[in-house]
Structure 1
Amino acid sequence: MKGAYKNYFREILKKYRQQTASSEEVKFLESYYNMFEVKDGLINDDNEFQFSELRDDIKANIDRRIEGPKVRKLSYRWMGYGAAAAALLLVSVAVYLVSYQQKNDLLAQMDRTIIPGGNKAVLTLANGNKIVLNEAKTGEIARQSGINITKKDNGELIYEMSASSDLTEETAMNTISTPNGGQYTIVLSDGSRIKLNAASSVSFPTSFKGRERVVDLNGEAYFEVARNIQHPFKVISGLQTVEVLGTHFNVESYADESAIRTTLVEGSVKVVAGKHQTVIIPGQQARVSRESAGSIATAQVNLDKEIAWTNDLFVFDGDNLKSVMSEISRWYNITIVYTGAIPNKKFFGGISRNSKLSEVFKILELNQVKLSLKGKTVYVSYDPSNNERP
């Protein structure tokens, strides 16, 4: 047995013992061992298995293939039963090994070309100048309207009033945008902290003047608002406005989602959408429908799931496949194409956002999701016959 193939067998054996082998791998291993003598100490007395039922299945399958018209064309008549079985299984082994190696090569190539997201963003200044933050050096990167803009060692962007600031200076508007596969944290001049998720942007004044502190959000962000009773903080995101005094909350407002979701972690917030408004408490989520004239529904939610992304996690708790793939596509900067009917199946579980895409794929495939990659496009289909859960 060649060294590369021996490694494949040993890897499958290890997975078999740990009960993590797929049904395809189990059938391959058991079929091979049942029909042939395995040398080189690959299988020994310590890892023998019981194969009587499998042997019957293999024999029945070979019988069907020998009796079928396509098998007769291969001239198996002159062979004894054992020779025919060996020939058929050798073909199966060869096909399996080629398929196995191709799949591993594909996953390895995927992990080289598609990597998890990270701190990436572009700062657009009031004068239109753009600064790529993930390429900028630490220290002061700009100064506008009496505000120093500084990139810290941890990558955060800090807005601070300079010692020579003139309070009569007109404030300037800045925008920070993250691409697919990007995130970034900003500390505003009032001390409020915003963590921006992938494919998102937030526009804000370099310093807040007047009665209200107002920012504009597209996409998703987590807010830790510095408390100031005299100056309420407002987040405008499409159809809705969130009004707070000082609190922690998450707003998800992607244009391709059917609703804008505001989830409260601490304090209280008021969500306003047209003529509708509601106040939510910690653990609740307000959902503003894009399709029902801004109607607002509230529900108790799993906070760990809703803000999992701020802790570098994917957490799914009853999400459907399209919702799962939307999160994955934004973080890994891939395009999703669905083929065939996609059932409304619910997904549960979690994985680090720092994981390789191949590791995420393996989990999805355990849930009967078939995935294939071409360039940076992932083709997704549902395969109810693929039941590989260990």
Structure 2
Amino acid sequence: MEKEQFLILIDKYVNGQATENEILLVEAYYSKLKGISEVGEQEIENEKYLKETLFKQIIEQIGTGSIDTATGIKRGRRISLWWLSAAALILVIFSIGIMLYKANKTTQAVAVDYAALIEPGGNKAVLTLANGKKVILDNVSSGAIAEQNGIQIKKKENGTLEYVQLAVTSSNNPLQNVFNTIETPRGGQYKIILDDGTTVWLNAASSLRYPLHFNGNERRVELTGEGYFEVAHLKTKPFIVVTGKQEVEVLGTHFNINAYPDEEDVKTTLLEGSVKVKSLQDKSQSKYLKPGEQSVLNNNNWLVKPVDAATQVDWKNGRFIFKDEELKSVMRKLARWYDIEVDYTQPVENLNFSGKISRSKTLKDVLRILTRTNDVTFKVKERRVTVMP
């Protein structure tokens, strides 16, 4: 009997078209399958053993005429092809039952705690060399990565990317000016030491484009996202950071720039030294900052205000520090660091948060802290967080 005939038999039984003997046959063998509910979990996992045992019992009953008389099937010793096929059919049903049992067991047992599975970000970045080659920095070992135009690019033991000048140059024979770009993904950060000794920390979802060697009378780089700079002092060669809306010019100082495309404001915070901030919309306009001051530039306004500088570079030091910060701003920072998407069931403009949280915590720990201090709850599925005020 072919597979199609097996299916026909079941179809006839379900639709009330089976003969009396066909009905008795199906019900007799089905009664054996009912025992699966009484079999222990360990035995069910041993599917091979159960199938062999059931088949043996079926053959013995058919061959010896020992079918239970309660079913009404006549005893006999002849094993017909039809009976053997029916036995095979029961085994097919049995196998399906096992699969359904296991599937149901898995569904019931797995209640995924997605928030606990989402780990914090780490040192991750992609370096694009002057020839277009891309190097995934978190996958390469420490040591030399490449040499370009007399500059060695190497990854230090602590993961820092460093540029070291190998060739001796003079003003008459300068190194060719070619560019590299380093990009951090969501959930990434990286530290880089440029050719002049300037150190840059890149936050998540950020990029820095820079020359291998700073020729000419200035040191110019391009930033998207957020970066903290400790600029090597060169009195005759200013260091300039260009973002989408502004230029920041310094000689040697420590400052932070937050210029994410999804943020309305571009914020420049000075920790040490002095900087000049120039708007690209009106280059005749510029502002000078003193330590502890922040420039806030958007499409409509530009102001300088005093701030707690430590809260602006908290990310570099492995912390989130929030001081009466809007919940949406908090969630944007979490989205970049934990690589998550955030939805809102209703407006949250009136919800603010203050507190300090380590960036090494899992997302579950962070959301638990936010829940304790705000009238808000969170639902996490895979990498999507729904905020429910």
**What letter matches 1:111 in structure 2?**
A
SS at match of 2:334: helix
SS in 2 for 1:150: strand
Query: Cα deviations across residues 309-333 of structure 1 (Å, max 9, x unaligned)?
Result: 0100001001101000000000000
Secondary structure of the corresponding residue to residue 323 of structure 1: helix
Q: Does 1:117 align with 2:126?
A: no
Counterpart among 148, 151, 159 of residue 147 in structure 1: 151
Aligned amino acid, residue 305 of structure 1: T
- 1:276 maps to a residue whose letter is Q
1:224 is aligned to: 230
Matches within 5 A, 1:322-337: 322-337=328-343
Measure, in 1, the Cα distance between the counterparts of 2:155 and 2:124: 13
How big is the alpha-carbon RMSD for the aligned residues of Structure 1 and Structure 2?
1.6
- Structure 1 residue 339 corresponds to structure 2 residue 342: no
CA displacement at 1:224 relative to structure 2: 0.2
- 2:234 is aligned with what amino acid? N
Matches within 5 A, 1:228-247: 228-247=234-253
Question: Which residue identity does 2:313 align to in structure 1?
Answer: I
Taking the aligned partners of 1:284 and 1:343, their CA distance within structure 2 comes to 26
Contact 2:174 2:215 in 1 (8 A): no
Query: Is the CA contact (8 Å cut-off) linking 1:278 and 1:296 kept in structure 2?
Result: no
Distance 2:162 2:307 in 1: 32
Equivalent-residue separation in structure 2 for 1:229 and 1:296 (angstroms): 28
Matching residue of 2:296 = 287
Given candidates 315, 320, 324, the residue that maps to 1:318 is 324
Q: Which amino acid aligns with 1:160?
A: V
Task: Give how far 1:118 is off.
Answer: 0.3
- In the TM superposition, residue 168 of structure 1 has moved relative to its aligned partner by 3.2
- 1:45-64 equivalence runs, <5 A: none
- Number of residue pairs aligned between Structure 1 and Structure 2: 275
Q: Distance in 2 between matches of 1:174 and 1:373?
A: 38
| Aligned sequence identity (%) | 45
**Which residue of structure 1 lines up, in the alignment, with residue 302 of structure 2?**
296
- For the residues of structure 2 that align with 1:131 and 1:161, how far apart are their CA atoms? 20
Give the conservation status (yes or no) of the 8 Å contact 1:261–1:285: yes
TM-score (normalised: structure 2): 0.69
Q: CA deviation at 1:183?
A: 0.2
Q: Which moved more, 1:357-366 or 1:264-273?
A: 357-366
Q: 2:175·2:213 contact (CA, 8 Å) conserved in 1?
A: no
Answer yes or no: is 1:128 the counterpart of 2:132: yes
Q: In the alignment, does 2:276 pair up with 1:270?
A: yes
Q: Is the 8 A contact 1:277 1:296 kept in 2?
A: no
The residue number in structure 2 matching 1:359 is: 365
Letter in 1 for 2:141: K
Structure 1's unaligned 5+ residue stretches are 1-101, 383-390
Give 1:303 deviation, angstroms.
1.2
Counterpart CA distance in 2 for 1:277 and 1:296 is 10
Question: Hey, what does 2:388 align to over in structure 1?
Answer: 381
TM-score (norm 1): 0.68
- SS state at 1:305 partner: helix
Q: How does 1:46-125 map to 2 (within 5 A)?
A: 106-107=112-113, 109-112=114-117, 114-125=118-129
CA deviation vs aligned residue, 1:116-154 (integer Å, no higher than 9, x gap) = 000000000111100000001110001111100000000
Q: Is the 8 A contact 1:146 1:165 kept in 2?
A: no
Deviation at 1:165, TM superposition (A): 6.3
**1:72: which partner in 2?**
none
**Largest Rg, 1 or 2:** 2
Please state whether the residue corresponding to 1:134 is helix, strand or coil: helix
Alpha-carbon distance in structure 1 between the residues aligned to 2:175 and 2:232: 23
Q: Is the 8 A contact 2:175 2:215 kept in 1?
A: no
Quick one: distance in 2 between partners of 1:244 and 1:203? 17
Name which of 368, 375, 384 aligns with 2:375. 368
Q: Which runs of 4+ in 1 moved over 3 A?
A: 104-107, 163-169
Distance in structure 1 (CA, Å) of the matches to 2:194 and 2:112: 44
Give SS of 1:149's match. strand
Q: SS in structure 2 opposite 1:168?
A: coil
1: CA distance between counterparts of 2:288 and 2:309?
17
Task: Please give the alpha-carbon distance, in whole angstroms, between the structure 2 residues aligned to 1:259 and 1:145.
Answer: 38
- SS, match of residue 297 in structure 1: strand
Q: Extract unaligned runs of 5+ from structure 2.
A: 1-107
In the TM superposition, residue 106 of structure 1 has moved relative to its aligned partner by 4.6
Deviations 1:335-356 (A, max 9, x none): 0111112132221001100001
